[in-house]
Amino acid sequence: MRSFAAILRRDLMLAVRNQGEMLMVVGFFAIAATLFAFGVGPEANVQSRMSSGVVWTMALLAALLSLERMFALDFEDGTLDQLMLSGAEPAAVVLAKTLAHWLTTGVALLIAAPAVALSFQLPSQAYGALMLSLLLGTPTLSLLGAVGAALVLGSRRGGVLLSLLLLPLYSPVLIFGAAAVEGAILGIATTTPYAVLGGLLILALTLCPWAGAVALRHAVE
């Protein structure tokens, strides 16, 4: 637990000192979604109908931007080797870095999401569903992303490989996240999408730290 807390505190301090990455993620999310809104035209019905899928897709792509650097900087300067040699549990290292990533990017996306959804004229009754679906879905994106980032660690084309590896795995989160918002727009039951998102989060919390730990061990050997 001490190793987990120390790694989490260190990563959060580094993120606070270097806010460019977080601003890049939020900026991409806002700009890409807004450009999409301009592209589909000013029709309120069209924008409202597409809002759930577009906002969720842009949030997913924005989260993907910062994943490659989750372990890369520590790997390059030798910090990751020191962590492995210090006796810190690799799964705790993965979990701490994943939590730091979500707190600095996932929470930022949560804060920016209502303003982005406003550009698509999202109905007022769907904002709660949007926030809840992102709250359940974005941690899963970070957990899966941690495994992917560990697997491509040290690769020359890590960013491309990471995208190819993660986008298929992200599809269920995207589908059910958008379905929850769409259900709220149409006024139908959204219990099933929330249940699936919660199940995916529990499954990711159970498996991803250990899978990421195996990948980290392999990368530093």
Per-residue model confidence (pLDDT) at position 47: 66
**What's the average model confidence in pLDDT over 202-215?**
91
Rounded to two decimals, what is the model's pTM?
Answer: 0.88
Integer Cα distance of 4 and 123 in angstroms: 41
Write out pLDDT tens, residues 69-94.
788 777 777 777 777 777 778 888 88
Per-residue model confidence (pLDDT) at position 1: 66
82-91 long-range CB contacts below 8 Å, 24 or more apart? 83/3, 83/7, 84/216, 84/217, 84/220, 86/3, 88/3, 88/7, 89/3, 89/213, 90/212, 90/213, 90/214, 90/216, 90/217, 91/209, 91/210, 91/212, 91/213
Write out pLDDT tens, residues 6-30.
888 888 888 777 777 778 888 888 8
Write out pLDDT tens, residues 28-61.
888 888 787 777 666 666 666 777 788 888 888 8
Domain hosting residue 27, numbered range: 2-220
Write out pLDDT tens, residues 147-196.
988 888 877 776 778 888 888 999 999 999 999 988 888 888 888 999 99
Two structure tokens written together for 123 = 């109905």
Per-residue model confidence (pLDDT) at position 194: 94
Count of structural domains within the chain: 1
Q: Which run of H or of E encompasses 124? A: none
